[in-house]
Structure 1
Amino acid sequence: MTEIRHIVFDIGKVLIHYDPNLPFSRIIPDPQERADFFASVCTHDWNIEQDRGRSWAEAEALLIGEFPEKEAQIRAFRKHWAEMVPHAYEDSVAVMTGLIDAGCDVTMLTNFAADTFSEARRMYPFLNLPRGVTVSGEVGLIKPDVAIYERHAKDFDLSPAHSVFIDDSLPNVEGARAAGWQAVHFTGAEKLKTDLQGLGISL
């Protein structure tokens, strides 16, 4: 078995909860209207471009030009972003901090807009504990592009074959494997512990 020397965590839905419905259940109370809004206005594909580095001002202007009657709801997405990340997964955070305390090399690799990540760091100080982080919005690359894993390995001097990546998204797990990393699909803290122990990592 290849020795694991580097452990790399995703953040959203691994360490902190994320759900845009939380503020929008108040902003657009009707469930079908809200679902339509996320399907046709503030879509996943629109939001991921902020993770790639597009500014919120540009992103909002793009949609307001197309949906002027939805301006207030469009601007609400960034305005109420903090409500979308209401709590950490304490059991997962405990796994990460335990690894750090044990002397393991822990870093993070995340699809995140640069400014909302700065906000998340203030909200959740444990995000400052790993050795470092690659934020997609800062480097202009997003998972599952192989290039972002290669960038992270280069920037943090990781040996891909000796690195394990933890992510809730299967495409992102596969992206890491395509970059020569080992990877674990996150579904919960207990399974994560089992998976890491199976890779020879003591917890």
Structure 2
Amino acid sequence: MPVEAVIFDIGNVLIEWQPERFYDAQIGEERRRAMFAALDLHGMNDGVDRGDNFLEAVTAFAAANPAWHAEIMMWHDNWAQMASPEIPHSIRLLHALRAAGVPVFALSNFGIQTFAIAEKVYPFLNDFDRRYISGHMGVIKPDAEIYRRVEVDCGVDPAVLLFTDDRADNIAAAAERGWQTHLFDGPQAFADRLVSEGLLTAEEAQ
């Protein structure tokens, strides 16, 4: 069926999200590997994405792991450096779709406070027609409930939604609900998909 609306994930689709790379630069790869092996930092972040207070969550996690206290606090204090840089071609695709009159939504695992930070750093995050941010919703991808809520709120038939995300599990959960999907592995391939769907011309997708 023809696509009628496009849904973007944000992390690693519009903004690079590579905490390990940040820590490699700050404390060295060897110590970073030891820290990530010892601590479930991504699990802590999942709690933030479900709506936990960002500062409180990181502070509590640091207090529970005093040997890594300073490094854990970097997750809070240097978050904007971890969530960078933006991916310019993806942002151009977002704006090109909107200029072409295609409804564009965001569906992202993102904390309440971290998204507020990101909005200030990346003004394009205000350019979506609708935004579905997990921290505000209290549920994260790939839980089926977050997709169901998107369907109910946007009122678009799942069969004509095109969703791009860099994680295969998030894509699979959307596909199970009948969404059209694109596993994001770079903006050019997604640009080609948008052209093939007739949503953009090749020139518009550059």
TM-score with structure 2 setting the length:
0.90
Question: Which runs of structure 2 are paired with 1:17-36 in the superposition (5 Å)?
Answer: 17-29=16-28, 31-36=29-34
Once the 2 structures are TM-superposed, how far is the Cα of residue 65 of structure 1 from its aligned partner?
A: 4.2
1:157 is aligned to 155
Distance of 2:58 and 2:104 partners within structure 1: 35
Deviations 1:87-141 (A, max 9, x none): 2111111111100011111010001111111111111111111112100111011
Give 4+ residue runs of structure 1 displaced > 4 Å after superposition.
none
TM-score with structure 1 setting the length:
0.91
Question: Greater shift after overlay, 152-161 or 124-133?
Answer: 152-161
- Correspondence for 1:37 among 19, 35, 38: 35
Distance of 2:117 and 2:161 partners within structure 1: 28
8 Å contact 2:44–2:58 — kept in the other structure? no
2:13 is aligned to 14
8 Å contact 1:42–1:74 — kept in the other structure? no
Percent identity of the aligned residues? 33
What SS does structure 2 have at the residue aligned with 1:8? strand
Distance of 2:147 and 2:135 partners within structure 1: 14
Distance of 1:93 and 1:110 partners within structure 2: 15
What SS does structure 2 have at the residue aligned with 1:108? strand
8 Å contact 2:3–2:197 — kept in the other structure? yes
What SS does structure 2 have at the residue aligned with 1:180? coil
Question: Greater shift after overlay, 34-43 or 153-162?
Answer: 34-43
The RMSD of aligned alpha carbons is 1.6
Once the 2 structures are TM-superposed, how far is the Cα of residue 196 of structure 1 from its aligned partner?
A: 2.1
8 Å contact 2:55–2:76 — kept in the other structure? no
8 Å contact 1:13–1:168 — kept in the other structure? yes
Question: Which runs of structure 2 are paired with 1:49-198 in the superposition (5 Å)?
Answer: 49-198=47-196
Distance of 1:40 and 1:132 partners within structure 2: 38
Distance of 2:121 and 2:56 partners within structure 1: 25
How many residue pairs end up in the alignment?
201
8 Å contact 2:54–2:113 — kept in the other structure? no
8 Å contact 2:102–2:199 — kept in the other structure? no
